[in-house]
Structure 1
């Protein structure tokens, strides 16, 4: 199993771009693992991209940083065969 740090670096080097939903899965877990619970204002209704990112991060609320790192690695391992 790769470490969280390795998974984040390897995910940046995917040869193909993950779908938006898959990207948001990575994003929410990454933010939870590195920052913790969401700590920013919710973007406005018309700011669709940032609102989606906010919601992906907020959906991980309460997850410990270590649990988020483990979950990120599992998500990486799930998608790596498809995109690496």
Structure 2
């Protein structure tokens, strides 16, 4: 079980990756972060041609039902794989 300190450390490490991650990786990081900090999606899905925010919302929505602790653990483990 990742602690809050480990999660915050992983967030900082994710900002210092040597190469820019792919969009899929960035969306997964975003979705796990939002689930770990805010819980389930609590906003309406963006509409129109706001493709970036629609993709982010959809990625977060896929994490629905996961506890904040589960999402935090997954986030830390995912960042660990990106860093190594």
Normalised by the length of structure 2, the TM-score is 0.90
* Aligned ranges 1:35-54 → 2 under 5 Å: 35-54=38-57
| Alpha-carbon distance in 1 for matches of 2:48, 2:35 | 23
* Residue 77 of structure 2, aligned match among 68, 74, 77: 74
Are 1:65 and 2:68 an aligned pair? yes
Normalised by the length of structure 1, the TM-score is 0.90
> Which SS does the other structure have where 1:40 is aligned?
coil
Give the drift of 1:45: 4.1
Alignment gaps of 5+ in structure 2:
none
Q: What's the C-alpha RMSD, in Å, of the aligned pairs?
A: 1.5
Give the drift of 1:33: 0.2
Give the drift of 1:77: 1.2
Deviations 1:8-66 (A, max 9, x none): 01101112110000000100000000000001110114111000000111110010000
Alignment gaps of 5+ in structure 1:
none
